[in-house]
Amino acid sequence: MDVIGFTEAFLNVFPGIGMSPIRVATCVNIGVFVCVYIGAGWTIKVQYGILAVLGLSLISFYAGALPDVSMANFKGNMGSAFPENSGFFVMFALFFPAVTGIMAGVNMSGDLKNPAKSIPRGTLLSIAFTAFIYLTMALLIGASRPRAAMLADSFIVLDISRWPVLINAGIFAATLSSALGSMMGAPRILQAFAKDNIFPFLRGFSRGSGAANEPRRATILTCLIAQTGIPAGDLNAIAPIITMFFMVTYGTINLACFYESYTRNPSYRPAFGLSHWSTALLGAAGCVAVMFLMDPLWAVAGILFIMLLQWHISRKEIRAAWGDVKSGVAFEKARRALLRLEEERYHPKNWRPIVLGLSGGAWRRNHLAQFGSWLTAGRGILGLAQVIEGDFREVMEKRRQEEDKLRKYIASEGLEAFPAVVVDDSLLGGIDTLLQCYGIGGIKPNTVILGWAENPAGRPVFARILRQVSAMARSIIVVRSPDDDEQFARAAEHGTIDVWWKGGRSGTLILLLVHLLTRHPQWRTRGVRLLHAIGENSDAAKPGAALGELITTARIRATPVILNTRFPKESLRHESRGAALVMIGFEPPETEDENDRFFETTSEEMDGLGQVLLVYSAGGHSLNG
């Protein structure tokens, strides 16, 4: 745009030069490129000479305009009279790129000695000075010439000025200055972008040259991009496109500042004292509004492009030096939600599974993790925990390594879970620590998931864990899988989900868990049966009606099955041999003296079955919605 602006002015002054506009613009583009390629130090020195010429041209304009000021012209030009197919926002789109040079200093932030201090001060001074120049020029042009002259003459400033030659020099200087500023700034932005490795194919542009780390590769690419726009040859065609790009850029920056400020991110510490989330939000909204007022179609295209770019970057999970504003937004939302949960009394109807999976050793308990994931997916929270026995000071490094392994395990299995590793003198002490301290506010485990103790030697400790967890008012799910962890299928088995109905609190929790399980895509097509054994000669109508009413109350799809039998356990086992999953309520042994009977009875119930979930409820939930 700047090069084409120079070309139009140049050919207006030298119409007989015999060169086409594209050739002149190409020569200027190459000249600007050579200056910048040499280095920023040389280019800045050239800018000082350009600034002097601009100052002289302004003096020429003011000297010519002030004597011609007329109140008649001023009053006649106070109202607007846009040409056909034009309007305020068309003029805005054409004029806006003229003020974007204010940001040249920001683009050079990597070359500034003290960017935090220089950028706010320099930018605000640039805005103030530029606003003064543009406003006074607009007022003086409107006061010194009639409307007809302004509409007819694109170079009316030449006619007004005292020494027209200085105006031509000023136009040359202004366009060259902007072109040099853009050619210096854009490559540095590209270089920084390439260093963050957003797109691997741009990685080569991250390298700099010389002691000043000049982005010469990026400068070459910038020159080539500029050259592709030169054939357009029309400022009125290019300026609106550039304005849309700037609106998208400024809007995105404002939105990022709003999020950082609004979420109170500690890393966001602007030295600029007037920075506030409200001004950033207003700026972002203003940019979006102006985009749609200029051209709705291009506005939608620009926003969709930014969304696509953001999606691509987030999908690659890049860890860049500038961080990610989304984490700040997520943190603030989580903080507020936790405070709200803390303030409101918990209601059983709002019960959600917050499950803590326990493993005695390294996490290879695939069946626990998988069932925990099935039961909490999209509706609860799953934590996978491990207890390391020993002295904390001696196993600190091991704890860190095990937590890393657990985190990698969660990632490799594709689980939505959180890792937790604690160190304690004993397994029971570690579980006690987890249940008391794991979580925050209203997000604390209400259910513990364990693997069944197949080894008789470990059953006394297992029974103590059950008693400890129930004493701490946590529900318990015990998973018994006939397959070891290596053979455990991560997909739902074929068959039905059989619930051995015994009633009580555990029964209501089982029905809630059945509902959650059947919401998962892998279990959605599995039928649910409520099995209840009664005496051989008992009337099945009444218990069948009761189960039907229970199913209606629970609002689950299930089939009641009443078994008339003399041997309830044998009949239930026989009925459920082909089930994908059997769910049975249980009560932990209250004393050590009851351990043997508990394990004998429970093992007998599960004998010959496939996957089994033993469920104990500590309360705190309700079937009534």
Burial status of residue 252 (CB atoms within 10 A of its CB: 0-12, 13-18, 19 or more): middle
**Are residues 141 and 273 located together in one domain of the fold?**
no
Mean pLDDT of 406-417: 86
**Are residues 339 and 356 located together in one domain of the fold?**
no
Grade residue 361 by pLDDT with cuts at 50, 70 and 90: low
Task: Please say whether the beta carbons of 445 and 418 come within 8 A.
Answer: no
In-domain check, residue 265: yes
Domain assignment of residue 364, given as a range:
348-616
**Are residues 176 and 240 located together in one domain of the fold?**
no
Q: Which amino acid is at 189?
A: I
Mean pLDDT of 305-328: 68
| List of residues 6+ apart from 27 with CB closer than 8 A | none
Mean pLDDT of 285-313: 86
| Beta-bridge partner residues of 531 | 500, 561
pLDDT tens for 552-570 read 888 888 999 999 988 888 9
* pLDDT at 12 (0 to 100): 81
**CA-CA distance, 549 to 555, in Å (whole number)?**
10
DSSP, res 359:
E
In-domain check, residue 442: yes
In-domain check, residue 416: yes
Task: Please say whether the beta carbons of 289 and 251 come within 8 A.
Answer: no
**Are residues 392 and 475 located together in one domain of the fold?**
yes
pTM over 0.75: no
**Are residues 483 and 340 located together in one domain of the fold?**
no
Any idea how long the chain is? 625
**Average pLDDT score, the chain:** 84
pLDDT tens for 340-355 read 776 665 667 678 888 9
Domain-ending residue, one of 211, 233, 255 = 233
**CA-CA distance, 134 to 140, in Å (whole number)?**
10
**Residue 30, pLDDT above cutoff 60:** yes
**Are residues 583 and 598 located together in one domain of the fold?**
yes
The C-alpha angle 161, 162, 165, rounded to 5 degrees, equals 75
**Are residues 220 and 249 located together in one domain of the fold?**
no
Helix (H) or strand (E) holding 64: helix 40-65
**Residue 62, pLDDT above cutoff 90:** yes
**Are residues 477 and 580 located together in one domain of the fold?**
yes
In-domain check, residue 312: yes
In-domain check, residue 421: yes
Q: For residue 322, what are its two tokens?
A: 């500038």
447-451: strand order across its sheet: 418-424, 381-389, 354-359, 447-451, 475-480, 612-616, 581-585, 497-500, 528-534, 559-564
Question: Tokens 């103590």, residue?
Answer: 464
Q: Which of 414, 375, 611, 364 is CA-nearest to residue 493?
A: 611
**Residue 622, pLDDT above cutoff 50:** yes
| List of residues 6+ apart from 67 with CB closer than 8 A | none
In-domain check, residue 221: yes
Highest mean pLDDT among 232-246, 315-329, 576-590: 576-590
**Are residues 206 and 313 located together in one domain of the fold?**
no
pLDDT tens for 77-102 read 888 888 777 888 888 877 877 777 77
Question: Tokens 């937590």, residue?
Answer: 403
Mean pLDDT of 309-333: 66
**Residue 322, pLDDT above cutoff 60:** no
In-domain check, residue 92: no
Domain count, the chain: 3
**Are residues 353 and 340 located together in one domain of the fold?**
no
**Are residues 27 and 43 located together in one domain of the fold?**
yes
**Residue 28, pLDDT above cutoff 50:** yes
Question: Residue 369's domain is classified under what CATH number?
Answer: 3.40.50.12370
Domain-ending residue, one of 233, 267, 301 = 233
Helix (H) or strand (E) holding 559: strand 559-564
**Residue 424, pLDDT above cutoff 60:** yes
Domain-ending residue, one of 212, 233, 254 = 233
**Are residues 311 and 360 located together in one domain of the fold?**
no
In-domain check, residue 371: yes
